[in-house]
Amino acid sequence: MIYIDAERCISCMKCVKACPFQVLETSSGKPECIRETLCIQCLHCAAVCPREAISLEDLNGTLQGDFPSLPDDFPDLIEYHLLARRSYRSFKSDPVDKEIIAHALKTSAWAPSAKNDHPAEWIVVSGKPFIQEIMDHILKYVDETGTSPEIASLYKVGRNVVTGTANTLILAAAKATSINPSVDSALALYNAELILQANGLGTCWAGYLTRMCNQIPALRQLVKLSEDCQIYGALMVGYPDQEHYLHIPNRKKQPTIQWIETALR
Ligand X SMILES: Cc1cc2nc3c(=O)[nH]c(=O)nc-3n(C[C@H](O)[C@H](O)[C@H](O)COP(=O)(O)O)c2cc1C
Binding-site ranges for ligand X (CB under 6 A) = 86-87, 89, 161, 204-208
DSSP H helical ranges for 89-222: 98-107, 128-145, 150-156, 181-198, 207-215, 217-222
Residue 89 C-beta: closest distance to ligand X, Å: 5
Residue 80 C-beta: closest distance to ligand X, Å: 14
CA distance linking residue 33 with residue 15, whole number of Å? 10
Residue 135 C-beta: closest distance to ligand X, Å: 12
DSSP code at position 25 = E
User: Toward ligand X, which CB reaches closer, 14 or 85?
Assistant: 85
User: Toward ligand X, which CB reaches closer, 19 or 104?
Assistant: 104
Asked if residues 120 and 185 have their Cβ atoms less than 8 Å apart, the reply is yes
Residue nearest to ligand X (CB): 207
User: Toward ligand X, which CB reaches closer, 86 or 92?
Assistant: 86
Residue 147 C-beta: closest distance to ligand X, Å: 13
| Phi, psi values for residue 228, rounded to 5° | -85, 5
Residue 85 C-beta: closest distance to ligand X, Å: 7
CA distance linking residue 195 with residue 189, whole number of Å? 10
User: Toward ligand X, which CB reaches closer, 16 or 234?
Assistant: 234
User: Toward ligand X, which CB reaches closer, 39 or 105?
Assistant: 105
Asked if residues 36 and 2 have their Cβ atoms less than 8 Å apart, the reply is yes
